[in-house]
């Protein structure tokens, strides 16, 4: 094995930090017991040994182990997180994504709940289609009772996921899908209007070709009862489409998938119909299938300012071999999943570091040249991947369902699918590259490195170019970190601005065009977020959805900047009475509004690491938060005095008409050394507890109908600040990841 050390693996400090926190082996006391080098050796050794199953000599397997080690330790390629975490360890579950069937019976529904719990316990995420469940109000033949419908059963899955998540394992994540022609489709689209439920689900609507044609013709389409196939009514397609678009504009959900297009690419149609995808939407799977994903780091496929096509070919072939071996050494959570997965042997080879590749080649992300290169790069990966799978089939045999596949009689194949472009949030942190096929998250940003300590991070390519062109300064980088983008800095040359484009420098239509370019040469689907500015209109989202359909995408995920975290606590108050308003003096200084003699409010107990914190929030006559008082369960001490000080300052901000959402944003996610745990999850500090108490106060007011506020979400559902470190959260393919500590809301 290689004689490398962690220092010369090329991992930056943030990569090592994320590995130590989330990937490396620990003892019973929670102490890290392996270095990154050890992890790469463990994974390479475990995956290479699958070749022994095919009578490869031990010397050849040992040589393969060295090649696999070079492949992953260089970060030329990385498999999905469960493989890095679990290969060579007791759990041994290496897959990230699963799909489970939900048939229209109580036995099937609760079997799926149980099986999902087993998958979440093992570190995987699950996708479900609820389209086979009879609608709410339908008569159940066996009991003559009334069906409660798909949404009610989804809440059961959601609760089970929450229980497993709170048990201290990796976060469970679900995809819930409903066909657009299901009778409960309107309730499904609006299911997250109340975000007290389904917080462990991404939801997507499966759009059919018939529906999309009806949308464009402004016609009606059939709604069918899945129990017997009868047409129950007809709905205006445009009305339903507008509702989907409006909710996606509001908070990013539901997403959409084009289910007929997905099944047109189903490699084994006679085996079964695809009804669902994994939680982030890029991997359509049959019931009981799992898929093993991995990503090539395109940032490392550039040599001397040009794409190193030979290296890309070599890495692609090695990666296909690696992923096929994962299928054999994997320990599956259910026998049926092992059987189905090995029958089709699907793998999903994708990419990360795409933005970094373009920067090195000095190609603007939103250019025609970039779109052409995307097709060429992914085309080579798909072609070489198929050739590698064909070679493996010659040596090991075709996948068992080959005779029932679209390849039958045409070519040998070891794997039913080869390519998928998945989110690479934490993987890209380890590799030190940009995520997936997304543009840069930011040119510069602030990273929390220790409790209360922040460090400004800057894109290394930008730093190098800024120094070469003579406009580098630490002051400039700190200013950029405040904005993320360099678009408005006059001291930066225009040609540099065109190369270092961030997600919000690029139009939504350019986002979807890039997704479509990669989709043309991808077997499965492409995970990508179409970013919108906060000022985007509902019509802007509609245009992207229609363009995605016309350009051949298999699904769309959108995110309007600030839509979720702004909505969390937006009071919606468009005007207040002049009585008791704050006053402004001649130089613009605010004097907070006066306190009435009598006020009403609520007190909530927050369980912090320093003991119970009692947070009292009083409201003004219009029901808006006016002041905060705190009392520690343990009298006195530093924590009590700090909590009191925070309460006083928050009260001052309330009485000065500072936005409630902005106040919470400043307090939420601040972490101290002594964390607690409450009913809603971890309580990171007293300030975090106060912020959560304010969130819940406003949510309760909204539910009572006494205040027009937006959706209740936790800090990650709002996608504002990371709940673990308070860092910035990046959106990708229906998921969110903190580039500071590696926290992700997806399994």
Q: Which of these ranges, 92-96, 457-461, 569-573, 617-621, has the smallest mean pLDDT?
A: 569-573
Task: Report the relative pairing of strands 529-532 and 453-458 from DSSP bridges.
Answer: unpaired
Terminal Cα-to-Cα distance of the chain (whole angstroms): 31
Q: What pLDDT, on the 0 to 100 scale, is given for residue 713? A: 33
Q: Which of 62, 52, 175, 187 is nearest to 112 (CA)?
A: 175
Q: Which of these ranges, 155-159, 436-440, 739-743, has the smallest mean pLDDT?
A: 739-743
Per CATH, which fold does 6-93+279-431 belong to? Anaerobic Ribonucleotide-triphosphate Reductase Large Chain (3.20.70)
Residues carrying an active site annotation: 278, 280, 282
Compute the average pLDDT of residues 726-745: 72
Summarised one tens digit per residue, pLDDT across range 96-152 is 889 999 999 999 999 999 999 999 888 889 999 999 999 998 877 666 678 889 999
Summarised one tens digit per residue, pLDDT across range 483-540 is 878 988 999 999 999 999 999 899 999 999 999 999 999 999 999 999 998 889 999 9
Summarised one tens digit per residue, pLDDT across range 185-226 is 999 999 998 766 788 999 999 999 999 999 999 999 999 999
Cα 293 from Cα 327, distance rounded (Å): 11
Say if residues 681 and 704 touch (Cβ distance below 8 Å): no
Domain 97-277: top CATH class: alpha beta
Share of the chain above pLDDT 90, in %: 63
pLDDT band with cut points at 50, 70 and 90 for residue 621: confident
Q: To which H or E segment does residue 392 belong?
A: helix 368-396
Q: Which residues of 534-554 are buried (b: 16+ CB within 10 A; e: fewer)?
A: eebeeebbbebbbbbbeeebb
Beta-bridged to residue 201, according to DSSP, are 174
Mean pLDDT for the chain? 87
Q: What pLDDT, on the 0 to 100 scale, is given for residue 563? A: 73
Q: To which H or E segment does residue 319 belong?
A: helix 309-329
Q: What pLDDT, on the 0 to 100 scale, is given for residue 306? A: 98
Domain with CATH 3.20.70.20 in the chain: 6-93+279-431, 97-277
Q: What pLDDT, on the 0 to 100 scale, is given for residue 659? A: 78
Compute the average pLDDT of residues 594-623: 84
Cα 732 from Cα 257, distance rounded (Å): 16
Summarised one tens digit per residue, pLDDT across range 71-80 is 999 999 999 9
């Amino acid at each position: 094995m290689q004689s490398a050390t962690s220092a010369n693996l090329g991992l930056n400090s943030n990569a090592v930090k994320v590995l130590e926190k989330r990937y490396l082996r620990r003892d019973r006391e929670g102490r890290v017991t392996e270095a990154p080098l050890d992890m790469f050796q463990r994974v390479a050794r475990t995956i290479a040994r699958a070749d022994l199953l095919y009578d490869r000599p031990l010397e050849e397997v040992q040589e393969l182990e060295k090649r696999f080690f070079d492949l992953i330790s260089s970060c030329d390629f990385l498999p999905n997180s469960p493989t890095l975490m679990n290969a060579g360890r007791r759990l041994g579950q290496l897959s990230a994504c699963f799909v489970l069937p939900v048939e229209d019976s109580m036995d099937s529904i609760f079997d799926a709940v149980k099986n999902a719990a087993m998958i979440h316990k093992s570190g995987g995420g699950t996708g479900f289609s609820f389209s086979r469940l009879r609608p709410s109000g339908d008569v159940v033949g066996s009991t003559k009772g009334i069906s409660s419908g798909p949404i009610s059963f989804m809440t059961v899955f959601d609760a089970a996921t929450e229980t497993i998540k709170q048990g201290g394992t990796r976060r469970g994540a679900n995809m819930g899908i409903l066909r657009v022609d299901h009778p409960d489709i309107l309730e499904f689209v609006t299911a997250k209007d109340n975000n007290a439920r389904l917080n462990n689900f991404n939801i997507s609507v499966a759009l059919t070709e018939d529906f999309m044609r009806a949308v464009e013709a402004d016609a009606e389409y059939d709604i069918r009862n899945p129990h017997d196939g009868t047409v129950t009514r007809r709905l205006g397609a445009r009305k339903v489409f507008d509702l989907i678009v409006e909710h996606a504009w509001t908070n990013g959900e539901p997403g959409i998938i084009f289910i007929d297009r997905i099944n047109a690419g189903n490699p084994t149609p006679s085996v079964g119909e695809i009804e669902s995808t994994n939680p982030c939407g890029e991997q359509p799977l049959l019931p009981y299938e799992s898929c093993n994903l991995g990503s090539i780091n395109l940032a490392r496929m550039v040599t001397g300012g040009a794409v190193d096509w030979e290296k890309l070919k070599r890495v692609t072939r090695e990666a296909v071999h690696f992923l096929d071996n994962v299928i054999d050494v994997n320990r599956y959570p259910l026998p049926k999943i092992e059987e189905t997965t090995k029958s089709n042997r699907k793998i999903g080879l994708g990419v990360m570091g795409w933005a970094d590749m373009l920067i090195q080649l000095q190609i603007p992300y939103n250019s025609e040249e970039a779109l052409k290169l995307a097709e060429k790069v992914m085309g080579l990966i798909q072609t070489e991947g198929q050739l590698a799978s064909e070679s493996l089939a010659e040596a090991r045999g075709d996948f068992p369902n080959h005779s029932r596949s679209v390849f039958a009689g045409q070519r040998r194949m070891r794997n039913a699918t080869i390519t998928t472009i998945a989110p690479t949030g934490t993987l890209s942190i380890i590799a030190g590259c940009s995520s997936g096929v997304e543009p840069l998250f930011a040119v510069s940003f602030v990273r929390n490195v220790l409790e209360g300590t922040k460090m400004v991070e800057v894109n290394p390519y930008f730093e190098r170019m800024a120094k070469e062109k003579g406009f580098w300064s630490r002051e400039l980088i700190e200013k950029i970190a405040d904005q993320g983008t360099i678009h408005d800095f006059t001291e930066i040359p225009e040609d540099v601005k065109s190369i270092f484009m961030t997600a919000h420098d690029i139009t939504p239509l350019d986002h979807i065009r890039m997704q479509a370019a990669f989709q043309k040469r991808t077997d499965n689907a492409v995970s990508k977020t179409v970013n919108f500015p906060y000022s985007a209109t509902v019509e802007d989202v509609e245009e992207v959805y229609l363009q995605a359909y016309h350009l051949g995408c298999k699904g769309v995920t959108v995110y309007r900047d600030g839509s979720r975290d702004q909505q969390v606590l937006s009071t919606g108050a468009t005007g207040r009475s002049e009585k008791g308003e704050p006053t402004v003096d001649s130089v613009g200084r605010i004097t907070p509004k006066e306190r009435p003699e009598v006020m009403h409010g609520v007190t909530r107990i927050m369980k912090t690491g320093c003991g119970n914190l009692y947070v009292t929030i009083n409201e003004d006559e219009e029901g808006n938060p006016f002041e905060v008082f705190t009392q520690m369960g343990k009298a006195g001490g530093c924590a009590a005095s700090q909590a009191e000080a925070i309460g006083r300052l928050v009260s001052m901000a309330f009485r000065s008409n500072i936005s409630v959402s902005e106040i919470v944003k400043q307090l939420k996610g601040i972490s101290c050394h002594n964390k607690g745990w409450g009913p809603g999850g971890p309580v990171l500090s007293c300030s975090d507890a106060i912020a959560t108490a304010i969130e819940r106060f406003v949510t309760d007011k909204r539910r009572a109908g006494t205040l027009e506020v937006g959706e209740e979400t936790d800090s990650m559902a709002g996608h504002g600040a990371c709940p673990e470190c308070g860092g910035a959260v990046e959106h990708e393919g229906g998921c969110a990841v903190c580039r500071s500590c590696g926290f992700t809301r997806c399994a």
